[in-house]
């Protein structure tokens, strides 16, 4: 099967809800999209912005929108992905410049929406392991996170633990897991989505006042 035919098959499966097909599709485009983003990061922000992190945020958007993708409205999946990547880069540049001015921009490498809530819960677990809390709400939340992690496949669990609990960079995780950086990004996205579905009400912890 040609590369073009394979991409067409993956796209059809991805738009039908197959997350593995979408992950494989994004891996095919990862090097290209990261190179596009890297080439457009302003020189003065190269120390603050990572093309890989911007691509990761673009992938979160793709996972949320893929089932509404219509080929008739876009020249190709690659063009659609590039557009999302450029939009995320513009947001990242705006946030980075606001941060340099003291504008309090959000973290550039944090996923959005439900994925961001899961990342916060994983961070809570990391903090709890160092300084246990007596708060019943925090204990419930950390127990829920541990249970959700335990039900993930080994690869998904390891990727999330290394990225969001140990705080390792994508490149180091890729080396430890013997995977490409693009594959690690996809493991993280899939793991966050599955944890969001499993955790449900536990994510409301962050909207409560203790």
pLDDT tens, per residue, the chain with 210 residues: 555 668 889 999 988 888 778 888 888 898 899 999 999 999 998 888 888 878 877 887 887 788 888 765 667 899 999 999 999 899 888 878 877 776 444 443 445 455 555 665 665 555 444 444 444 555 566 677 888 888 899 999 999 888 877 778 888 898 999 988 778 888 888 888 888 777 765 554 443 433
User: What tokens appear for 8 in the block?
Assistant: 């067409």
Which pLDDT score, from 0 to 100, does residue 42 have? 93
Q: Which CATH architecture has domain 113-207?
A: Orthogonal Bundle (1.10)
**pLDDT the model gives residue 116:** 53
Q: How many whole angstroms from its chain centre is CA 174?
A: 15
Q: Pick from 35, 39, 29, 36: which is nearest to 59 by CA?
A: 29
Instruction: Say what the pLDDT of residue 202 is.
Output: 52
Angle at 132 between CA 209 and CA 105, to 5 degrees: 55
- CA dist 185 to 46, 162, 169, Å? 20, 12, 11
CATH 1.10.10.10 domain locations along the chain: 113-207
Residue 75: its pLDDT value, please?
Answer: 72
Provide the CATH number for the domain formed by 3-100 in this structure: 1.10.1740.10
- The model carries a pTM of 0.55
Residue 206 C-beta-side C-alpha neighbours within 13 Å: 15
Pairwise CA distance, residues 130 & 33, whole Å: 38
pLDDT at 24: 85
Residues of the chain with CATH 1.10.1740.10: 3-100
> Which pLDDT value is given to residue 3?
58
Contact predicate 55/33, CB 8 Å: yes
């Amino acid at each position: 099967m040609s590369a073009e035919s394979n991409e067409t098959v993956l796209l059809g499966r991805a738009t039908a809800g197959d997350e593995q097909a979408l992950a494989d599709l994004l891996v095919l485009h990862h090097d290209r999209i990261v190179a596009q983003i890297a080439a457009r990061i302003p020189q003065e922000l190269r120390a603050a912005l990572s093309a890989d992190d911007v691509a990761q945020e673009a992938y979160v958007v793709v996972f949320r929108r893929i089932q509404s993708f219509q080929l008739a409205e876009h020249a190709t999946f690659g063009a659609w992905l590039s557009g999302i990547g450029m939009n995320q880069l513009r947001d990242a540049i705006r946030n980075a410049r606001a941060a340099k001015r003291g504008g309090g921009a959000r973290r550039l490498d944090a996923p959005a929406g439900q994925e961001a809530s899961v990342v916060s819960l994983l961070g809570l677990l990391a903090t709890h392991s160092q300084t246990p809390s007596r708060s019943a709400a925090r204990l419930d939340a950390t127990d829920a996170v541990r249970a959700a992690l335990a039900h993930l496949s080994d690869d998904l669990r390891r990727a999330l633990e290394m990225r969001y609990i140990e705080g390792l960079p994508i490149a180091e995780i890729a080396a430890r897991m013997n995977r490409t950086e693009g594959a690690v990004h996809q493991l993280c996205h899939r793991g966050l989505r599955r944890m969001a579905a499993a955790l449900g009400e536990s994510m409301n912890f962050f909207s409560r006042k203790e």
